[in-house]
Amino acid sequence: MGQRHDSDSIADMINRIVVLSTLLLAFALSINFVLDEAEESDKQPLRNEPDLYMLNATIEQFDNDGALQHRIDASRFTHFPLTDLTTMKSPIMDLAHAQERAPWNITAADGRIIPGSDYREEVVELWNNVLATRSGNEGRFINIQTDSLTIYPERNYLETDAKVFIDNETGRTTAAGMKAFLDAGRFMFYSTDGDRVTTIFLPN
């Protein structure tokens, strides 16, 4: 009887050890699975999905004095929160001019807005069939045509590294690139080996 009792005790002890080992193994596997899932989740890149759409909308920006700085109409605005960029389809931009009552009107097929911050000023980039125009008195006008244009609204400054055509009432200027300081009415044109700055004057 004593040997049988000892045998039963040993068997019970072995069964307990097996059950405990099984439970510990299952727990370890569960913990490992959870950790693997968390690691895989951390490896997945953040997706820059849009968080805002606006159709046939208008955005207006005012300066520190409360005066209208610029206005942008577009058939669609799409904001991406990860990069804080707003893309535009068919944008139409009216850019106020400090020295002239008539604003600059700028159109394009596509564009995007890079908002200002403590470290940078607001930038508007336009591309595909960009046309900037301003009409004045006595038949005066300026038309600027290019494939891409970068606009700094706070400074009324434009620039492009693409080929540009500038028409006014006196003729046409063609250049490989341009910088335009609108408040001062000053334009700087650039040439390359393949595209020189040329001006054709119309007869009076």
User: What whole-number distance in Å separates Cα of residue 149 and Cα of residue 87?
Assistant: 15
CATH superfamily of 52-201: Lipopolysaccharide (LPS) transport protein A like domain (2.60.450.10)
pLDDT digit string, tens, across residues 32-88 = 655 556 555 555 556 778 888 999 999 998 878 888 888 999 999 999 998 899 999
Share of the chain above pLDDT 90, in %: 50
Rg of the chain over all Cα atoms, to the nearest angstrom: 33
Residue positions counted in the chain: 204
Single pTM value for the model = 0.74
User: What whole-number distance in Å separates Cα of residue 26 and Cα of residue 44?
Assistant: 27
Q: Is the pLDDT of residue 108 over 90?
A: yes
Domain limits, the chain: 1-44, 52-201
Q: Which of 126, 195, 124, 139 is nearest to 165 (CA)?
A: 195
